[in-house]
Amino acid sequence: MVEVNPGVEIAAKVSSLASRVQELMKAPGPDANAGVVTWLQDVEAAWSLVKDGSVAQLGPHATSADNLRLAARVAVERLLQMPWVSGETKAALNGYLERHPAARQVGRYQFSSDWMSKAEDDWRKTLAPLKGQPGTRALEIGSYEGRSAIWLLENVLTDPTSRITCVDLFAAEYAQRFDANIAASGAQARVEKLKGASSVVLRQLAPEPTYDLIYVDGSHQAYDTLEDAVLSWPLLKPGGLMIFDDYGMAQAQITPHTKIARPDIGIDAFLSAASEHLEVVLKGFQVIIRKNPA
């Protein structure tokens, strides 16, 4: 008997569920309410494949587990706004939202997703030389709810003189969660929060080699990823590390998506253009590079 990779199974289910709910919203027929209830039951069944703490074992399909959490909630909220949805179906949809809140309590923090677990082992090994070093500075492009920033503060930027600069649009709901999580960490004095598009904010920073670590996880469009890399590269110290997230995102998809973001295209373009100035440390779902010494 062939054992099915749980990550592949989750990714396939997420793709199928997404296609079904899109069809329901585009062309609701006479059985649309029954279709929504069946879809909701299948979403609940898919949850049995995803357990807290299991994401790290799902390899490149870990993102699909978070897609299930996030996309299902967004879809349910959109369905509740549809005029054809019956009162009985709305009750079922609201029940789902109550059973699966937007954020889960993780120790002192609240997070709606876990994109960090899959990277922890690689980060521990690669960033070990920076751990506890006085004056270490990190720049994060794309901070969302603060999960990766907090991981860095607790595991790498542990010296009281270390700092992290977080660049993000900080939209209302997740900005509040970011602020609450950073406050709960007790390290808010070591966190600089810069709100705005990275294409604007990065141009406002002094073009000097200031940072020991730069994490690029903002817009996943190819051009935007390339622009973030180009604008932040002068800010990275010689010998410093730059991490790109979601390099393997497109390859992790089971079914083709015509509008899927392709950060890997932008990352590959940068690696090619700057190849003489860097060393590739890791190339997997994430890419980690080291800037050549001066």
If asked whether residues 72 and 126 sit together in one domain, one would say: no
Q: What burial class does residue 230 get, using C-beta atoms within 10 Å of its C-beta: 0-12 exposed, 13-18 middle, 19+ buried?
A: middle
If asked whether residues 151 and 96 sit together in one domain, one would say: no
109 in a structural domain = no
If asked whether residues 134 and 257 sit together in one domain, one would say: yes
If asked whether residues 159 and 252 sit together in one domain, one would say: yes
Do the beta carbons of residue 271 and residue 28 sit within 8 Å? no
End of a domain among 73, 101, 129? 101
If asked whether residues 127 and 268 sit together in one domain, one would say: yes
Q: How many residues does the chain have?
A: 294
End of a domain among 68, 101, 134? 101
If asked whether residues 80 and 187 sit together in one domain, one would say: no
108 in a structural domain = no
If asked whether residues 172 and 42 sit together in one domain, one would say: no
- H helices then E strands: how many in the chain? 10, 9
Q: What's the average pLDDT block by block, 10 residues per block, for the chain (294 residues)?
A: 51 76 83 90 76 46 59 83 92 85 76 80 96 98 94 97 97 89 96 97 95 95 96 98 88 53 93 97 94 91
Predicted pLDDT at 65: 59
Rounded Cα gap, residues 158 and 161, in angstroms: 8
If asked whether residues 96 and 191 sit together in one domain, one would say: no
Rounded Cα gap, residues 282 and 251, in angstroms: 17
If asked whether residues 86 and 147 sit together in one domain, one would say: no
If asked whether residues 164 and 74 sit together in one domain, one would say: no
If asked whether residues 63 and 158 sit together in one domain, one would say: no
CATH of the domain at 154: 3.40.50.150
Say how many domains are in the chain: 2
Rounded Cα gap, residues 41 and 64, in angstroms: 18
96 in a structural domain = yes
110 in a structural domain = no
If asked whether residues 267 and 157 sit together in one domain, one would say: yes
End of a domain among 75, 101, 127? 101
- In which domain, by residue range, is 128 found? 117-291
Q: What single string gives the DSSP state of each residue in 185-251? A: HT-GGGEEEEES-HHHHHHHS-SS--EEEEEE-S--SHHHHHHHHHHHGGGEEEEEEEEES-TTTGG
243 in a structural domain = yes
180 in a structural domain = yes
93 in a structural domain = yes
Rounded Cα gap, residues 85 and 33, in angstroms: 6
